[in-house]
Amino acid sequence: MLVLALDTASAAVTAGVLRLPPVDAPEVLAERVTVSPRAHGELLMPSVCSALAGAEVSMGELDVVVCGAGPGPFTGLRVGMVTAAALGDALSIPVYPVCSLDAIAYRAGAGSPLLVISDARRRQVYWARYDESGARVEGPHLDRPGDLPVTSVSRIAGVADVLELPVVPRVVPPGHPDPAGLLAVVAAAVRAHTPPGPLTPMYLARPDAREPGPRKRVTSV
C-alpha cells in the first residue's frame, strides 16, 4: 500500500510518502520536513507534491492518508487536517487520524517511561506520558511547563527548549512527528482496513471568546 503521511500540529510542516508492505516494516520513500511555524498554509501542499515527486508516486496511486490530529496550535493544525480530509475525499481513499504526540513517542521508542511534549504557545505545552512498553498512560493534556509530571519519567521527547523545568530528564529525539512515526501508530489498522475514526482535531482548549456584558452607554448618566 502507498501512504501519504502529513502533520502540521507543531512548528514543523511534515509530508512523506511511504510504502506499507503486508508484513514488513513501512519504508519511507520520500519526506519533506520544514520547520516554519507561521507558514503551514503556504508550505504543506507544495511539500506533499514534492514528496510525491521524490517518491515517484502519483496522487492517484495513493491508497491511504495518515494525518496528525494534534494536539497543536489551532491554525496550523487545521491546515493539515483539512488538507488530509480534502485529499481523502478527492481521491476517495480513507484518512486515518493519529495523535501527533503518539507519533513522536513511537519514534522515541519504548524501554523506559517517557514524556512527550509539544509547544502550545502562550507559555503552555501539550503533553502525554507513556510507560516502558510505549503505551500512552496519561494525556494528551494542556498545561504550564511547571505542572508537568517530569519526576515520573526518565526521558522527554518533543520540543524541549520551551521548558523551564526544575529537573529536566534526558532529552531524546525526535522533536517533531515524522512520517514513519505517524504511519507506525496506525499501521495495523491500515493493514486490516479497519475503518478510521472521525477526523477530529485535538484542541484541548475552548475558543478564547467571552460573552459580552451589558452594553456600555455612550452618554454619562
Among 36, 56, 61, 86, binds another protein (CB under 8 A): 86
b (16+ CB within 10 A) / e for 134-147: eebeebbebbebee
Quick check: helix, strand or coil at residue 28? Answer: strand
- C-alpha cell at position 217: 452607554
Residue nearer to another protein on the CB measure, 89 or 138: 89
209 binds another protein (CB under 8 A): yes
b (16+ CB within 10 A) / e for 55-79: bebeeeebebbbbbbbbbbbebbbb
Among 43, 55, 105, 185, binds another protein (CB under 8 A): 43
87 binds another protein (CB under 8 A): yes
- Paired with 3 in beta bridges are 18, 64
If you search the block for the grid coordinates 511547563, which residue do you land on?
A: 145
Residue nearer to another protein on the CB measure, 82 or 163: 82
- Phi and psi at residue 217, to the nearest 5°: -75, 150
CB of 80 to another protein, least distance (A): 8
The footprint of another protein on residues 45-84 (CB under 8 A) is: 45-46, 48-49, 52, 59, 74-75, 78-79, 81-83
Contact residues for another protein (CB under 8 A)?
Answer: 39, 41-46, 48-49, 52, 59, 74-75, 78-79, 81-83, 85-87, 89-91, 201, 203, 207-212, 215, 217-219, 221
